[in-house]
């Protein structure tokens, strides 16, 4: 899977809007962009995914650059519960080897202050 680059950490305050960037300069045309988040001692939680168009759900808005070389996960009105490590992962569209397993990096640690 192609590599993604994320900042190690970011800080925010409750109620703010947070933009979490992810760079994937070598993304191929058949790769989805996935976002997961994880808090200590729990399994990763699916946040969202997209291919080319921006997507939105109850958890977040995913903005994908027109050239797909970067994406930004946007969290609005963050609360303390949003504090977690956020992972940006590329996943092949097709039925791949190893079942298209997810390859997690170190992600971005988002801290939220009261």
Partner 1 sequence: DAAVTQKPRYLIKMKGQEAEMKCIPEKGHTAVFWYQQKQSKELKFLIYFQNQQPLDQIDMVKERFSAVCPSSSLCSLGIRTCEAEDSALYLCSSSQSTWGGDEQYFGPGTRLTVL
Write out the residues near partner 1 by the rule CB under 8 A.
30-32, 40-46, 49, 51, 85, 91-106
Task: Quote the CA–CA distance of 35 and 22 in Å, as a whole number.
Answer: 10
Cβ-based nearer residue to partner 1, 66 or 94? 94
Q: Least CB distance from residue 103 to partner 1, whole Å?
A: 8
Cβ-based nearer residue to partner 1, 66 or 95? 95
Nearest CA to 72 out of 86, 62, 82 is that of 62
Q: Least CB distance from residue 64 to partner 1, whole Å?
A: 14
**What token pair was written down for 93?**
């569209």
Nearest CA to 85 out of 21, 22, 40 is that of 40
Structural contact between residues 109 and 20, judged by C-beta atoms closer than 8 angstroms: no
Q: Least CB distance from residue 85 to partner 1, whole Å?
A: 8
Sign of CA dihedral 92, 107, 23, 112: positive
Q: Least CB distance from residue 19 to partner 1, whole Å?
A: 23
Cβ-based nearer residue to partner 1, 68 or 91? 91
């Amino acid at each position: 899977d192609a590599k993604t680059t994320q900042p190690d950490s970011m800080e925010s305050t409750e109620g703010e809007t947070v933009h979490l960037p992810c760079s994937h300069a070598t993304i191929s045309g058949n790769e989805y962009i996935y976002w997961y988040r994880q808090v200590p001692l729990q399994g990763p939680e699916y946040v969202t995914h997209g291919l080319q168009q921006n997507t939105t759900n109850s958890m977040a808005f995913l903005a994908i650059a027109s050239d797909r070389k970067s994406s930004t996960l946007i969290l609005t009105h963050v609360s303390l519960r949003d504090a977690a490590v956020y992972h940006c992962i590329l996943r092949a569209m097709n039925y791949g080897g190893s079942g298209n397993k997810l390859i997690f990096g170190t992600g971005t640690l988002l801290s939220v202050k009261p």
